[in-house]
A and B are shown apart, each in its own frame.
Chain A
Amino acid sequence: MKKNIGYLLFTLGLVLLASGCEYDNFEEPGSLLKGNVVYNGEPIGVRTNAAQMELWQGGYALERNIPIYIDQDGSYSVALFDGQYKLVRKEGGPWQAELNDTLIIDVRGQTEFDIPVTPFFTIESGDIQESENSLTAEFSVDQIVESANIESVRLYLGTSLLTDQNRNEFSQTLDLTGLDLNQQNSFSVEIPENLRDKEYLFFRMGVRSTLSNEFYYTQVEKIIL
């Protein structure tokens, strides 16, 4: 009797193994669409988990969007099936929404595609000097969209690569008086006491326009203290 139960369980297990996997036997998407969100060929820094783009593919009964999550350095990648996709540059990022200007992308195997956007402002950080617990950084802010105004320029210090408005150890809003657009500006900031004993810090700056929701960030820079 005991042996029978053993056989029975074994057979049941076999039946389950043989029959239970039908739904999993779909082919996984094998192509990869990747690239950067760019302005003038330069990738745009964004906040982790913030702005998104959307892909749509027509011709199927179920029509729903495929979200593209953008890495903090402006790169993205999506696993897809081969085919033609439509890309929508959604609102909510530090760039102008272009909801009606759809980009068509043909995905065949490994496909690279840079998504061009028009940010309201761009910011670039230059030389960063560290001395005596203070940082001196150079940066320039360029206006791209005429109608926009600067809401604020901020700098962030963090202990991880993911440093932005949401994740940081220290942030400071810069005084905008005397800021020269399209010129090199420089400022210095004192490193707060609780960060002075770290071996390194991550430095980032952001600019936000009065028309946008999100900051446009510089690429993260690692500063060895």
Chain B
Amino acid sequence: MKNSYIITILVFFLLTSCNDEKWLERDPQNLITDEQLWNDPQLIQSLLANYYDRLPSMHGVFNTGGMSEIDDAMWSGHYDSNWRNDFQYGDDYGRYWDYGFIRDINLALDNIAQYSTELDETKKSLYTAELRYIRAFVYFEMVKRMGGVPLVTEQLIYDFKGDPSSLQVPRAKESEVYDFIYTELETIKDDLEGNNASQTRANSFTALALESRAMLYAASIAKYNNLMSAPITLPGGEVGIPSEKSSDYYTKSLAASKAIINSGNYVLYDENPDKGANFYEMLMTKNREVLFAKDFELSLKTHRFAYDNIVRSLTEDNESSSNMTPSLNLVESFEYLDGSDGALKMQDGSGAYIAYEGINDIFENKDARLYGTVVYPGTNFKSTPVNIQAGVAVWEGSDYQFLAAPNLGGTYEDGALWTGFDGPRNDAQDVSNTGFYMRKFVSEAPGASTRGVSAVNWWPWFRLGEIYLNAAEAAFELNDPEAVVYINSLRERAGFGANSVEALSNDIIRNERRVELAFEDHRFFDLKRWRIAHLVWDGNEDSEDAIVYGLFPYRIVRPGHPDDSKYVFDKVRPTRFRRARFFRFANYYSSIDQNVLNNNPKLIRNPFH
């Protein structure tokens, strides 16, 4: 009897509890539908964050190892990676063929057009423009490494009818890809105005900045490729741009650069009267010099550039430090403030070493950007003096004998420092092999050099300094007298006097780019587009450019002589730098992967592959 009561109650519940049909038709909690995604600005922004994070670069975004292969620096870190000092650029060096990403963007563009019904129009066009900006950015990365690539602007969907030829898109001409980038950016730049206050999302000015850079690349390829004794081209124009297009491209680049400079939205960072420290802070303080940056945030998204490259004795971690160490070649490319050539004076005319009173006297009156880029002997990092000294130079009656201590930080018989705690030391790991350390991009924040905390300084995709240089180069090529004004304003920020350059030349512009934009993922591509990479990195073991040199400072031990305790400097070729850099014609355009070629018979190979 009791049981039947219970059963009746249970049956009652069963019959009544389900009459609400909504209870059964609930939205799933573990997936987001397209309708939800494309009508919710929050969700769209998080999707965009993912795409911004995937923006490609060759060895940028704090890729220490990659930078040490192509920048003015060598690898001084763990021996395991010493192949970076001992390799040849392979046929596939710099290959980039990311149609997965292109497809993701094309899919997103289709979806936002189809599903975004509740979004207001300005937002919708802003997001669409941002996606198209990212796509243009990706195509630019592809064209500068591979030449003309297939231009795919919508999803490629197979119809399962057995004929895949509609999916096999042939390569566009190199100039067509650059034209595509330009027209895309021109179309979307007004839609991007909503972001103009942001420095980490695409806006009208980042669109102009990409125009400025891409058009400059196209123009210089059009001009300088055709000046080679054997221009690198393909008959269909997939590689190589006709020279008559160059002035149009230069004009477009200059117009874009001018629009940015004249907008007043960005300023050349010039806050600190100490010009060297100012140049360093410019990239460390998240200021209005930078047009477009990759942002980092403590405990969320950090990078380890400080852990990799901090001065050895100042690291807060128990491993690494000193991975990438700048070369003497770079240090010497910074001019003296009086405008004379930057070569350091180690020896006098007769070959005798010049004794310097202070260990940093040899660097006196150099371009202030040297201080902002490189840690050299006798300077501070994190307000602590660095301890760079290779050893002692003992006078042997007619010449110096250079002696290095068995331990870093050791004391010589005369009771004074032998080899500094920061080296340099030849053929050693985790200590500079060149006599220099990185300052640019290396954060001084507490804990930045630990793996637990890490660094959060920006990666600058575009900054105003580059735009000035782009403007100067384009104007110079177009015989516009304003070119020299752009160069001089940059040089004034670096500590030079007003109008320090009177007659501009290609060499001056190229050297300015080398010193201003060092380690910012420019040098490799600049050498390529000027078509001088094969001359600079010619694989010659006697070359001044293809070898990374170091500078070792020694303290003189010569009791009773006025030179005692002064310093001499020795130019060395680090033992760990094994192989002169050798850039072959094949490296101007990377090879296309064989599987990609097999899948699409319409693709043709790049020259020399």
Binding site for B on A (CB under 8 A): 63-65, 90-92, 149, 151-152, 154, 165-166, 170-173, 210-214
Within the assembled complex, what's the spacing in Å between the Cα atoms of A213 and B605?
Answer: 16
Contact of B608 among A166, A170, A172, A213 (CB under 8 A): A213
Contact of A65 among B88, B540, B594 (CB under 8 A): B594
Q: What are 20 inter-chain pairs, A to B, with CB distance below 8 A?
A: A63-B598, A65-B594, A90-B609, A91-B607, A91-B608, A92-B586, A92-B608, A149-B229, A151-B538, A152-B538, A165-B88, A166-B87, A170-B541, A171-B541, A172-B541, A172-B542, A210-B230, A211-B229, A213-B585, A213-B586
Contacts of A154 in B (CB 8 A): 540
Contact with A along B568-603 (1 / 0, CB 8 A): 000000000001101011100000001000100100
Closest-by-CB residue of A relative to B580 is A171
Closest-by-CB residue of A relative to B543 is A173
B91 on interface, CB distance cutoff 8 Å: yes
Closest-by-CB residue of A relative to B91 is A92
Closest-by-CB residue of B relative to A194 is B575
The A-contacting residues of B in range 214-239, CB under 8 angstroms, are: 229-230
Contact of B609 among A91, A151, A173, A210 (CB under 8 A): A91
Contact of B541 among A64, A92, A149, A173 (CB under 8 A): A173
Contacts of B87 in A (CB 8 A): 166
Within the assembled complex, what's the spacing in Å between the Cα atoms of A177 and B507?
Answer: 27
Within the assembled complex, what's the spacing in Å between the Cα atoms of A154 and B542?
Answer: 11
B409 on interface, CB distance cutoff 8 Å: no
A152 touches B540 (CB 8 A): yes
User: B87 CB to closest chain A CB, in angstroms?
Assistant: 8
Contacts of A166 in B (CB 8 A): 87-88, 579
Contacts of A152 in B (CB 8 A): 538, 540
Q: Among the interface residues A151, A211, A213, A214, which one has the most CB atoms of the partner chain B within 10 A? A: A213
User: A52 CB to closest chain B CB, in angstroms?
Assistant: 10
Within the assembled complex, what's the spacing in Å between the Cα atoms of A211 and B580?
Answer: 21
Contact of B582 among A165, A170, A172, A212 (CB under 8 A): A165
Contacts of B229 in A (CB 8 A): 149, 210-211
Within the assembled complex, what's the spacing in Å between the Cα atoms of A214 and B584?
Answer: 8
User: B469 CB to closest chain A CB, in angstroms?
Assistant: 30
B539 on interface, CB distance cutoff 8 Å: yes
The A-contacting residues of B in range 49-92, CB under 8 angstroms, are: 87-88, 91
Contacts of B230 in A (CB 8 A): 210-211
Closest 7 CB pairs of A and B: A64-B598, A173-B540, A213-B584, A92-B608, A213-B608, A213-B585, A213-B586
User: B169 CB to closest chain A CB, in angstroms?
Assistant: 19
Within the assembled complex, what's the spacing in Å between the Cα atoms of A152 and B542?
Answer: 12
Contacts of A64 in B (CB 8 A): 594, 598
User: A91 CB to closest chain B CB, in angstroms?
Assistant: 5
User: B165 CB to closest chain A CB, in angstroms?
Assistant: 14
User: B524 CB to closest chain A CB, in angstroms?
Assistant: 18
Q: Among the interface residues B87, B538, B605, B608, which one has the most CB atoms of the partner chain A within 10 A? A: B608
Within the assembled complex, what's the spacing in Å between the Cα atoms of A92 and B588?
Answer: 12
Within the assembled complex, what's the spacing in Å between the Cα atoms of A209 and B580?
Answer: 19
Other A-B pairs beyond A152-B540, A214-B584, 11, CB < 8 Å: A64-B594, A65-B598, A90-B609, A91-B605, A92-B609, A154-B540, A165-B88, A172-B542, A173-B542, A210-B230, A211-B230
Closest-by-CB residue of B relative to A168 is B579
Contacts of B542 in A (CB 8 A): 172-173
User: A101 CB to closest chain B CB, in angstroms?
Assistant: 16
The A-contacting residues of B in range 35-59, CB under 8 angstroms, are: none
Contacts of A90 in B (CB 8 A): 609
Contacts of A151 in B (CB 8 A): 538
Within the assembled complex, what's the spacing in Å between the Cα atoms of A35 and B235?
Answer: 33
The A-contacting residues of B in range 527-561, CB under 8 angstroms, are: 538-542
User: B137 CB to closest chain A CB, in angstroms?
Assistant: 30
Contacts of B580 in A (CB 8 A): 171
Q: Among the interface residues A63, A152, A166, which one has the most CB atoms of the partner chain B within 10 A? A: A166
Within the assembled complex, what's the spacing in Å between the Cα atoms of A212 and B91?
Answer: 14
User: A179 CB to closest chain B CB, in angstroms?
Assistant: 16
Contacts of A91 in B (CB 8 A): 605, 607-609
Contacts of A65 in B (CB 8 A): 594, 598
User: B215 CB to closest chain A CB, in angstroms?
Assistant: 29
Contacts of A165 in B (CB 8 A): 88, 539, 582
Closest-by-CB residue of B relative to A99 is B605
Contacts of A214 in B (CB 8 A): 584
The A-contacting residues of B in range 127-170, CB under 8 angstroms, are: none
User: B604 CB to closest chain A CB, in angstroms?
Assistant: 10
